[in-house]
Amino acid sequence: MGEPFSAVEVIRAKRDRGRLSDEQIDWVVDAYTRGAVADEQMAALAMAILLNGMDRAETARWTQAMIDSGDRLDLSGVGRPLADKHSTGGVGDKITLPLAPLVATCGAAVPQLSGRGLGHTGGTLDKLESIPGWRAELSDDQIVAQLRSVGAVICATTPRLAPADRKLYALRDVTGTVESVPLIASSIMSKKLAEGTDALVLDVKAGSGAFMKTLDDARRLAEALVGIGAEHGLRTTALLTGMSTPLGRAVGNAVEVAESVEVLRGGGPADVVELTVALAREMLSLAGIDGPDPSAMLASGAAYETWCRMIAAQGGDPEAPLPAAAHVHLVEADRDGTLQRLDAYAVGVAAWRLGAGRGRKEDPVQHAAGVICHAKPGDVVERGQPVLELRTNDPGLVPAALNALTGAFDLGPDAPATSPLVLDAVRRPQ
């Protein structure tokens, strides 16, 4: 039996600013997944979508078609309200690490299916793999069992969840079509809806180190994400958060795990604590849990006990020493002053060039590599005082990292203007 549509007619419809029908969307996503639509044809359609957009109903249907390309994770036997979080990615964004055990300690179950880093934004799995013995790959049954016993799991997405997204994401990455808001939103939400959570909080970042550079662009994406959630009956909230300065002081893999453990033990940088608590409150509220205050639970160290159980359940040793870099290079202040700004993107690229990130998805990462920010905007520094500490196992990578940091920070006489970390919230479709 022949195909009900041709790829060319679907491409033409969107090229000419038409609206794709539900049947066209269902067919083209399925046909691409099974190989009946070629990469070059889907690339042309993705470019047409990038240029001409999709409305809310089209985006919701596209999301559904990607979910239908694979299986759904059945978490009905977990026995607790389910809440998850997704970040659009940033520099020093280790929030998932303290957040998942914190929310579990407060009574929810957190199925955090995560990914690996590409480019200047780090991947949660790469960070956790710096812990000796920890494994990312779990079966569906293992995920459910760990959610029942520990309350939190951070693991790799299973191959059967939204396989269309995996194939399309790789194509968008090499065809200049990553920036399409409908395609970003449907990519994120298809995986989260297939995962089977009850509530979802999105951390949509805006600033130099974020995918969305402006608050307006971040808000458009947040509204698209929350709109898809509403169309699919998923309780969804998005927080718009700043990403012009790195989060916390550690950027890398092992260094971010170490900082997360500080937070879980009741310490750590104030901005990491603030955002962890803000997201935890949103997750617990959406999950219908009105119980312990996450701020007090974090400060008490109770969430650290859950962290240790979560890491151990996946084969890791939470007490084992983390990898240490063989080479350290300090970037010092050339004069006295107050740090005016510290550019998140530049720091992220520097960490990437030191070996903390990857240029292609198959590249390995150095778990010990990264950047420590000894000063953040508003801190007073003296001439010769370290501002940044570069860590790597390969000193030959330092010059490229230093090049990335050219102009990354400014010193001045006065304290810089401050802006809030949480900029806004989107709680329902606009």
Residues assigned a catalytic role: 86, 165, 172, 187, 191
Buried b / exposed e across 300-333, counting CB within 10 Å, b at 16+?
eebbbebbbbbbebbebebeeeebebebebebeb
Q: What is the spatial distance between Cα 118 and Cα 113, in angstroms, rounded to a whole number?
A: 17
Among candidates 334, 335, 332, 339, which has minimal Cα distance to 414? Answer: 339
Task: Note whether 390 and 315 are within 8 A (CB).
Answer: no
Compute CA 16 distance to the chain's CA centroid, rounded to the nearest angstrom. 34
User: In 10 A of CB 170, how many CB atoms?
Assistant: 12
Name the DSSP letter for residue 326.
S
Give the CA distances from residue 418 to residues 45, 160, 373, 378, 421, in Å, rounded to whole numbers and listed in that order. Answer: 43, 45, 18, 8, 9
What letter would DSSP give residue 198? S
Cα separation of 351 and 93, whole Å? Answer: 13
Q: At 65, list the tokens.
A: 């078609």
**86 alpha-carbon distance from chain centroid:** 6
For 109, the 3-state DSSP assignment is strand
Residue 145 has which token pair? 């069992």
Which residue in the block uniquely carries the two structure tokens 């999950």? Answer: 287
Element (H, E) at 192: helix 181-195
Bridge pairing between strands 337-342 and 409-412: antiparallel
Residue 315: strand pairing partners: none
Residue 18 tokens read as 């038409």
Helix (H, G, I), strand (E, B) or coil at 367: coil
